[in-house]
């Protein structure tokens, strides 16, 4: 008889997924980490392989999976523009076929399932800050659509399984998250700036650098995901998980230069197509329903992230 929860984490060797696996193991759960290593890395979970409650399976979620579990965290999908635009058809398949396969697994095993959705479902928003009842402003045929629309379709599937099959679902809309184990070449602003600063290269600002983002440290985010998964059955979401502290991209660059002591200069390049101008979560729902809010300040989180990248770059 299994007393510990058996938890499946798809994309478990990814940046957020690996931190989630680690946190779940600390709760005494048995964790099955599934990843196809497209953007995830074995190194992210290497330190967990000796844990008798941890299991690693190389598998692509676009192919059905037959395992017995109590909970599913569906985290699998490349999440940075560099990676999701590399093979946009596969990105859409990962979001849509992956959701169908994991929902089917949850239905068969009567497991509770959480979808890692994204603030990108809001597109380039006309509403600020973004609340969960905002339907978004998304270009369905642009270069980012494979990710934005794939995630939107996954949310549709989750709610249809909820209505049609009474499946126990949770949907988290994740805003910009950063921390150790980010991919150094993922093109995301935090990793880009830190790597450029540590190498003494010019820091690239797209546009005038006045576009804003809200940065949530990964430990805060993982706490939010677990709080949502453990919330009462009627709490389906979608729930925004992110840090409501809003910074311009230029401010972020200045923090990184200051904390690394770098001599890097700022340079400007044109803004990519469909790049959102503003991004800040309204987390009222997360506070009310999950008693969750982030506690780690940007500079404190950046210090930990810079330390990680500094050690990583010295090995390369």
At residue 272, φ and ψ (nearest 5 deg) are -65, 155
Distance CA 267, CA 58 (A): 41
Distance CA 196, CA 251 (A): 15
Distance CA 171, CA 111 (A): 14
145 contacts 112 by C-beta, under 8 angstroms: no
Q: What is the DSSP letter of 272?
A: P
Q: What is the DSSP letter of 14?
A: S
Q: Are strands 112-118 and 71-74 parallel, antiparallel or unpaired?
A: parallel
Identify the burial level of 133 via C-beta atoms within 10 angstroms of its C-beta, where 0-12 means exposed, 13-18 middle and 19 or more buried.
Answer: exposed
Collect all residues with Cβ–Cβ distance below 8 Å to 107 and sequence separation of at least 6. 161, 165, 167
User: Which residue is associated with the tokens 């690693």?
Assistant: 56
84, 147, 161, 217: which one is catalytic? Answer: 147
**Is 147 an active-site residue?**
yes
Which tokens is 181 given? 């184990």
Residues labelled catalytic: 147
């Amino acid at each position: 008889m299994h007393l510990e929860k058996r938890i499946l984490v798809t994309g478990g060797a990814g940046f957020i997924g690996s931190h989630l696996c680690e946190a779940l193991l600390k709760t005494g759960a048995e964790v099955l980490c599934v990843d196809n290593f497209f953007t995830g890395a074995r190194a992210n979970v290497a330190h967990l392989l000796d844990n008798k409650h941890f299991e690693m399976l190389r598998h692509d979620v676009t192919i059905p999976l037959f395992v017995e579990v109590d909970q599913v965290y569906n985290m699998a999908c490349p999440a940075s523009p560099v990676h999701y635009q590399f093979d946009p058809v596969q990105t859409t398949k990962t979001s849509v076929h992956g959701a169908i396969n994991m929902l089917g697994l949850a239905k068969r095993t009567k497991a509770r399932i959480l979808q890692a959705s994204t603030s990108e479902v809001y597109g380039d928003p006309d509403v600020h800050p973004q609340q969960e009842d905002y339907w978004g402003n998304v270009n369905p045929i642009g270069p980012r659509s494979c990710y934005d629309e794939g995630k939107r379709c996954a949310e549709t599937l989750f709610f249809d399984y909820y209505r049609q099959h009474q499946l126990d679902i949770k949907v988290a809309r994740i805003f910009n998250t950063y921390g150790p184990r980010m991919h150094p070449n993922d093109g995301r602003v935090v990793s880009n700036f830190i790597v450029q600063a540590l190498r003494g290269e010019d820091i690239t600002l797209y546009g005038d650098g006045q576009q804003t983002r809200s940065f949530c440290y990964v430990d805060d985010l993982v706490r939010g995901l677990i709080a949502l998964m453990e919330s009462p059955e009627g709490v389906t979401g979608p729930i925004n998980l992110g840090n409501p502290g809003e910074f311009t991209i230029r401010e972020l660059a200045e923090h990184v230069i200051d904390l690394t002591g770098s001599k890097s200069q700022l340079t400007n390049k044109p803004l990519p197509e469909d790049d959102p101008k503003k991004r800040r979560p309204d987390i009222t729902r997360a506070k009310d329903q999950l008693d969750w809010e982030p506690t780690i300040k940007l500079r404190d989180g950046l210090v930990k992230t810079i330390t990680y990248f500094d050690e990583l770059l010295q090995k390369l």
